Structure 1
């Protein structure tokens, strides 16, 4: 098997459900850095737009879409790192484990996309969580609900914009994890047992929402200090 094919097989195995979450998480960071050889091997910096006046430009084509996902994964990872660092008062063992798992998953997603994008990746963003009271359970869970629901809708809306089927496969595997997160947060935040898939996110056809990037970035901008330029993202 060639080196390229081996990398391809290793990359696809990252998200296959054949082991514990520890087996999944070991691929984050340097462990999956070689994934960039496969995922971005056919891309180049021509898809990127220079950053000007402090504006973060996502770029165009699949690079732009993956950078868009990278923005959201940076946001979620930073949020859950704060949650676990400042655990809210009287947190239960079950909820502590959940928050640690969510942090680990989001960090893995963030690091995976950074490695996949390679030199095309945007830089590290700066976030403002001053509106969140990390000592208060309701504040933390309500914010987590917003982020997870938004993340699911964002990936659903971005799938159609990807041209490379390998990228679409990975995006599908990430959004399925985000949906599990969303359901988990809803299940402990709301006493209504049906809230994990409430009609505020699931329509009459049993389908989840799909948001365009502009809508998602506008909603997320409350927490992101950097200005994001998504003007070159594909629209269809």
Structure 2
């Protein structure tokens, strides 16, 4: 894994980093990154084709980092090879989403330092990037999955500062999900459809890592193991 100046050992992931990040608008990316890691949370590569997320709060942060890697890679490809008939408004929206996901991905990588999992090898062979419906339905899948993942991981986070950060990011992911759904069905209320908002509670779903990772794995060639995540 490529080393950066943020890869330096210390006692724990710096809480001030998360407070500083949580105190600004995520979309700006105006974040001063500095991080430390606890050796107890260091992730150990099993092989070049396998990564383990680790344990404790850092394991949950790696879980989020893995999902952000997937989303950032997807939207980067969407903008690099835009689908047929893409409008200027759609290109602008998808570019903004791409930029948000890259900021999220790069933040987690820098914050985790030596505890960050390696870069994942994605597998988008099931997506036709030349076809609008294929791209937008894949985007809906990723965004809905991301929202459910953050919601489900919230109760597993011990440090309230990390929980605050997760809450800020999931709100952005939910905006993405609503925007993508509106592109797919502009004349309906699918942005808050019954398949994502439970009518009886008015809440989005919350899915555990054990549910989310198998759904994400088909889009990632790298095998992700999460045997040590909190439950």
Offset at residue 193 of structure 1 (A): 2.0
Equivalent residue for 2:202, pick from 198, 201, 206: 206
Equivalent residue for 2:29, pick from 12, 16, 25: 25
Q: 1:6 to 1:151 in 2, by over 3 A?
A: closer
Offset at residue 50 of structure 1 (A): 1.8
Equivalent residue for 1:134, pick from 129, 134, 138: 129
Which residue does 1:117 correspond to in 2? 112
CA distance in 1, matches of 2:18, 2:229: 26
- The answer to whether residue 169 in structure 2 is matched with residue 159 in structure 1 is no
TM-score (norm 1): 0.86
Equivalent residue for 2:189, pick from 185, 190, 194: 194
CA distance in 1, matches of 2:16, 2:164: 17
Which segment is superposed worse, 209-218 or 6-15? 6-15
Offset at residue 33 of structure 1 (A): 2.3
Correspondence list, 1:1-150, <5 A: 10-15=20-25, 21=27, 24-27=28-31, 32-34=32-34, 36=35, 41=36, 43-53=37-47, 54-150=49-145
- Displaced runs of 4+ in structure 1, greater than 6 A? none
SS at match of 2:219: coil
Offset at residue 119 of structure 1 (A): 1.1
Output the aligned Cα RMSD. Answer: 1.8
SS at match of 1:228: strand
Alignment coverage as a number of residue pairs: 216
Q: 1:233 to 1:8 in 2, by over 3 A?
A: closer
Q: 1:8 to 1:215 in 2, by over 3 A?
A: closer
Q: Structure 1: state its 5+ residue gaps.
A: none
User: Contact conserved, 2:19 with 2:161, CA < 8 A, in 1?
Assistant: no
CA distance in 2, matches of 1:47, 1:101: 33
Q: Structure 2: state its 5+ residue gaps.
A: 1-13
CA displacement, residues 137-189 of structure 1 (integer Å, 9 cap, x when unaligned): 10100000000000000000000000011100000000000000000000110
